[in-house]
Amino acid sequence: MALPPTRPFVILGPIAVAVLYFGFAWLALHLTQGADGIATIWPPSGILLATLLLSGRRLIPYYVAGAMVASAAANLAFGAAPGDVVGMTFANMAEAVIGWWMLRGRGEARPRFTQPAEIGRFCVAATAAASASAFLASIGTGFGSAQFSASWFLTDLLGMLILTPLILIAADAVRGRNPDMVVRRRDLLLLLGLVAVVTAGVFAQSGYPLLFLPLVALLAATYRLGPIGAAGGVLTIAAIGTALTTDAHGPMMLLHDNQRAVSLFLQFYLLVMLGTALPLAALLATHRQLMRQVGESNRLLRMAERTAQMGHWRMDTVTRTLLWSPEVFRLHGMAVGDAPSLADAIAAYHPDDRERVTAFITSAMADIGGEFVFEARLVNPDGAIRHVLTRGHADCAPDGTLISLFGVIQDVTDRVTAAAALEAARATAEAAADTDQLTGLASRRRALRVLDEAIETARTGREPLSVAIFDVDHFKAVNDRFGHLIGDAVLRRIARAATGASRRDDLVGRLGGEEFVMLLPGADETVAMKIAERVRSAIEASGNGADADADAGDAPAVTISVGVARLDPDVDTSATILLNRADRALYDAKRSGRNRLRLAA
């Protein structure tokens, strides 16, 4: 919600504008009076329009009222009839209000003269306002001729086109709202002084048509100072040229003896100067703005590349020359400078990767318009190895001719290292999950997985497969008498004995507690029973004499009961069914007195 203007500002602001309006109106009428008492240029129109564009909507009536009093006073001071004063004053005020409405009355931002489109919008509004003002002045005064209307239109239009941009640009420069308007005071004084000196020299003589020289000085000021140089320079030329021309000096005197013709040509000259300088200033401001944005974008790009450890590159496919961003040099462990040759760049890759990198580049050049991506290893000068990911694309001319390859290269060493560490951790975890921690045998998880694979292999190859499940006899008594530590040592001793008595391709695993399983690939019933008996005997002997385990202490020798089952492809549809058959044979052995083998029916 906008705050209401304070009372002192409501009073002092319009008074200050009224004084300024009156002063410039009196000066314009005093220095340059054209036909019918109309000045060659009317600065108050530009001052009032700029004031309205800079002020808030609530203050506009106050400024218009103050300017109305000043306008009437200035015209009365120069002898205008009261009726004409009313018509002229109304036309001047309507002009400013119309210009303000076209530029800001519908909520648009006021023009800042840094874009050609903004200048075009302002010129249209100023032309429309000056046209309306000339029409109102013609019907509101006793001067209704076409000459009067044209003179009024041109003087007011020049006042708005010259003064309003200068005031708005200066306001932006003072407030620091537009960096394109910030200029150094020394440059401002020096270049506008140059415009003043050149203009004074040209208009102080009447012998040579040197009207082009002020334009040269104006363009120099425009190029260095931008829009403020263009508007200030044209104002300087207008003030000096108008004053000296009115005093019958300057190249204008070479054109015509008629003061009205000279005045019209001077107005045309000023319009040309303004139409040349102000659009050029806008283009220069746009260029500087774009350059600033490009610089900012480049800084952000370098920051982003540094953060992402990514650089961009380009290769000219005709000259085979490379262009690298600073981050690419860093990835190669090189100081920023000239990029190496293509051969040296490829040589920076690991010897095992160079051929593959060359193949990708060759393929990309052959497949015009195609994209490529590959990972490879860079070897820095210090021997450090970086894993990099490169993405590229072929750039073509409109006729389809290959111009270059361009793309990005990113350091993915951390990702590769993390992936390797994750894979190692996964392998470690998987190995831990596949190994029984107490005995070092295959865990139940691994044994069942291997059994599934062995069943599939046996069925495919029509080869025999047997499994054996054995259980320690009276193991609870061992734990109760000697404790669980001795019981664990006994289980480890059993695991070693079973592994030693089995074949190289057999798998011994612990199902849990004192129950074990043996996978016997390629073994029929006869072979399986022989292996099972050998394991049973080895375990029975492991607790006696030299085979006794030192950490088992005084634990007695133990025996096992074994159940053996051979895979029947027509019956054993899964590992669970096969194990159940072996388990039933195991319990048959236990019921038969333990320390013996039984073969599943």
What is the per-residue pLDDT across 207-238, written as a single tens digit (0 to 9) for each? Answer: 888 999 999 999 999 888 888 888 889 889 98
Predicted local confidence at residue 31, as pLDDT: 63
Predicted local confidence at residue 359, as pLDDT: 86
In a domain, 428, yes or no: no
Q: Residue 85: give its domain's CATH number.
A: 1.10.1760
Domain end: 286, 306, 326, which one?
306
Same-domain pairing of 175 and 288? no
479 CB-near residues (< 8 Å, 6+ apart): 486, 487
307 CB-near residues (< 8 Å, 6+ apart): none
Residues 384, 411 contacting (CB under 8 angstroms)? no
Q: Residue 487: give its domain's CATH number.
A: 3.30.70.270
The residues that bridge with 39 in the sheet, in sequence order, are 33
Same-domain pairing of 96 and 10? yes
In a domain, 421, yes or no: no
Same-domain pairing of 451 and 543? yes
What integer is the mean pLDDT of 59-74? 91
In a domain, 431, yes or no: no
Residues 116, 36 contacting (CB under 8 angstroms)? no
Predicted local confidence at residue 117, as pLDDT: 84
Same-domain pairing of 3 and 135? yes
What integer is the mean pLDDT of 254-279? 81
The two tokens of residue 360 are 């990708």
Predicted local confidence at residue 546, as pLDDT: 44
Predicted local confidence at residue 264, as pLDDT: 80
Predicted local confidence at residue 162, as pLDDT: 86
Same-domain pairing of 15 and 164? yes
Same-domain pairing of 191 and 293? yes
Same-domain pairing of 543 and 464? yes
pLDDT bin (cut points 50, 70, 90) of residue 468 is very high
Percent of all residues in the chain with a pLDDT value above 90, rounded to a whole number: 37
3 state DSSP class of 226: coil
pLDDT bin (cut points 50, 70, 90) of residue 290 is confident
Predicted local confidence at residue 547, as pLDDT: 47
Q: Residue 347: give its domain's CATH number.
A: 3.30.450.20
In a domain, 320, yes or no: yes
Same-domain pairing of 591 and 524? yes
In a domain, 425, yes or no: no
The string of DSSP letters for 273-341 reads HHHHHHHHHHHHHHHHHHHHHHHHHHHHHHHHHHHHTEEEEEEETTT--EEE-HHHHHHTT--SSS---
Task: Give 165-174 pLDDT, tens digit per residue.
Answer: 888 888 877 7
What integer is the mean pLDDT of 356-384? 82
Number of structural domains (the chain) is 4
What integer is the mean pLDDT of 584-596? 94
Task: Give 515-568 pLDDT, tens digit per residue.
Answer: 999 999 999 999 999 999 999 999 999 876 544 455 555 667 899 999 999 998
Closest CA to 365 of 309, 412, 403: 403
Residues 325, 311 contacting (CB under 8 angstroms)? yes
Task: Give 379-430 pLDDT, tens digit per residue.
Answer: 999 988 999 998 888 877 777 777 888 888 888 888 888 888 888 888 888 8
Cα separation of 536 and 527, whole Å? 14
Cα separation of 28 and 121, whole Å? 27
- Segment among 188-197, 340-349, 362-371, 527-536 with least mean pLDDT: 362-371
In a domain, 517, yes or no: yes
Q: Is 387 left (phi over 0), alpha (psi -120 to 50) or beta?
A: beta
Task: Give 487-515 pLDDT, tens digit per residue.
Answer: 999 999 999 999 999 999 999 999 999 99
Domain end: 416, 447, 465, which one?
416
Same-domain pairing of 171 and 214? no
Predicted local confidence at residue 98, as pLDDT: 94
Per-residue burial over 489-501, b if 16 or more Cβ lie within 10 Å, else e, is bbbbbbbbbbbeb
Percent of all residues in the chain with a pLDDT value above 70, rounded to a whole number: 92
Mean model confidence pLDDT for the chain: 85
Predicted local confidence at residue 551, as pLDDT: 54
Q: What range does the domain containing 160 cover?
A: 1-182
Same-domain pairing of 575 and 498? yes
Q: Which of 184-188, 291-295, 483-487, 535-539 has the highest mean pLDDT?
A: 535-539
**Predicted model pTM:** 0.56
Same-domain pairing of 18 and 107? yes
In a domain, 423, yes or no: no
In a domain, 582, yes or no: yes
Residues 278, 228 contacting (CB under 8 angstroms)? no
Domain end: 272, 306, 340, which one?
306
Same-domain pairing of 140 and 176? yes
